[in-house]
Chain A
Amino acid sequence: MQYMMLIYLDEAAAAARSASEIAAAVASHAPYIERLRANQRYASSARLAPARSARVLRASDGKPVVTHGPFAESREQLGGFYLIEAPDLDEAIDIARANPGLQTVATAIEIRPVLRGVAELPSTGEVQLARGAEIYSPGWIVLAEPGSATTVVRRDGALELVDGPFRDEAEPVRACRLVPAGSDVTPGAAAIEVRAIL
């Protein structure tokens, strides 16, 4: 089955890095992805543009209303994700713990079971995150509720396992899809956060 690994990072700390530090951090993911691929564990991954660059769409009286800026104000923001294949949660946890992001700016990885996954994904364009409600239309990756999440948290240099999501949110991510930049989406029960893929 598939697991979605939502990577949370301290955006201020991430932005304070030098260009060469960022390049090294990004490069550290290449061997990790290669290893996942070799073991048939890899489905997709993306590094997201900062939260302040997000577009948020909400339905208001049946019409979409767009706002710009972070979906929710917080020091730690969703900074990227991995979609992986694993036979069970034990292996998913091992894969999350080995994520090189936890050696740099990631402070936590939330592991969410995927109720319905997808086979192939583009890795450029935008990611649309459905928040507060699921979207079952074709092409959407449907995540289990946050109550089923397990989070690997970096605390004082050590990794800890926490039962539940990284944080309780009024409108947690419930589904997502990767689309070409500027793709249409109609918000319904879910609010849609759109973030560019870096």
Chain B
Amino acid sequence: MTPLEALYREEHGRVLAALLARVRDLPLVEEVVQEAFAAAAEQWGDAVPRNPRAWLLRVAHNKAIDRMRRRAKFPEVDVADSLASAPEVDADVGDDRLRLMFTCCHPALAADAQVALTLRTVAGLTTEEIAALFLVEPAAMAQRLVRVQKKIRDARIPYSVPPPEKLPERLTAVLAVVYLIFTEGYAGLRGELCGEAIRLARLVCELMPGEPEAHALLALVLLQDARRDARLVDGDLVLLDEQDRTRWDLAMIADGLGVLDDALAAGAHGPYALQAAIAGLHARPPTDWPQIVALYDHLLALAPSALVELNRAVAVAMASGPAAGLAALDRLRFALGEDHLYHAARADLLRRLGRLDEAVRAYRAALARVVQPAERRFLERRLAECSAEPT
């Protein structure tokens, strides 16, 4: 990353949020902030201004006024009266970014739109970068982003932190977007997305220090990400119990455990806190499997989900043996019969029970449904092992 690219990452969200507080026109603001950075690239050379943020904000602001005066669709509306003075540079910049986050994660926007817009505006990724992360054409992503930005302007989606009665629900939506970005990166083995999610989680914590669930989410993504590298050896997937623990990021684990302790002490008890507690136990060998099963039980009581039940069944197998795990898994056949993870987990337990014929069939069922190449290679390797052993 060049210094200017790094500055873009760092300052884009701040400048955009501050200007949007004055000019409630996201497509326009997006455009002029873009142009301000382009002007910086041309004009700065080696002479970066002492306060680059103020420079960018002033240039973007001037461009915005200019643009609005020239292209007013309805001349009867005077666009400039509210813009007479330039925005103050450091006034409540943090709050502006928080407002921006709530706007991007508004419930009137579809989940994929929330994710793309948060990455574009708050995290400062370029449209091309987001398109690459979600494996779509840049033009298609640009079109999606333009649609959402126009909607925010035309439908007047509020640019504010929600009132107390709506805050819990709306904060849940913000945290869900951050976690969605993380899981997208984690499942797809795209580390950059995980990194962005961690940055966003840190930002939410910094902006809302009194929200334990936000801190629990930060703990969760840190603890999961710390083990990300160890999941792959030469591009192949390695299961948790076979991972080389020297490849875990111990500093990140310590960081995550510290954040988790603080979150729990502050009263966090939601889904992220429980998942973070589970991730914390995984990160501290020897793994306390009965405790993990108990935490999954809490999690299921809070938010029933077939995938969580699948994870619980795997934990049961570790705590009480593969036969008990298999029994727990069998109850999920109807809910998850089309999911490769169900068949992969079943195959693994059958293999451990020595029921190799059944294991082979289950691996084949998993292979028929798996998409991700690293996971596919892993399953093929296991299938070969089971087929090779005499039955």
Contacts and interface: CB of A to CB of B under 8 A. Distances in A.
Contacts of A162: 110
Contact of B157 (A88, A144, A145, A147): A88
Grouping DSSP codes into helix (H, G, I), strand (E, B) and loop, the A interface class, with mixed when no group exceeds half, is mixed
Contacts of B109: 163
B292 to A, nearest CB: 34
B158 A148 contact: no
A115 B156 CA distance: 11
Given A116-B74, A145-B150, A148-B150, A163 B156 contact: no
Interface in B127-156: 147, 150-151, 154-156
Interface residues on B, range: 10 to 19
Interface string B100-113: 00000011111001
Contacts of B74: 116
B151 A147 contact: yes
Nearest to B108: A150
A148 B155 contact: yes
Contacts of B108: 89, 93, 150, 161, 163
A89 B74 CA distance: 21
A122 to B, nearest CB: 24
B151 A148 contact: yes
B141 to A, nearest CB: 15
A80 interface: no
Assign chain A's interface to a size class: 20 to 34
A1 interface: yes
A164 interface: yes
A89 B113 contact: no
Contacts of A89: 106, 108, 155-158
A144 B150 CA distance: 9
Nearest to B113: A163
A1 B156 contact: yes
Task: Name, among B109, B147, B155, B166, the residue most crowded by chain A CB atoms within 10 Å (CB to CB).
Answer: B155
A113 interface: yes
A164 B110 contact: yes
Contacts of A150: 108, 155
Contacts of B158: 88-90
A88 B156 contact: yes
A4 B388 CA distance: 67
B233 to A, nearest CB: 41
A87 B110 CA distance: 22
Interface string B296-322: 000000000000000000000000000
Interface string A83-100: 000011110110000000
25 contacts: A1-B156, A87-B156, A89-B108, A89-B155, A89-B156, A89-B158, A90-B157, A111-B155, A113-B154, A113-B155, A115-B154, A116-B74, A144-B150, A144-B154, A144-B155, A145-B150, A147-B150, A148-B151, A149-B155, A150-B108, A150-B155, A163-B109, A163-B110, A163-B113, A163-B151
Closest 6 CB pairs of A and B: A163-B110, A144-B154, A150-B108, A148-B154, A148-B151, A113-B155
Interface of A: 1, 87-90, 92-93, 111, 113, 115-116, 144-145, 147-150, 161-164
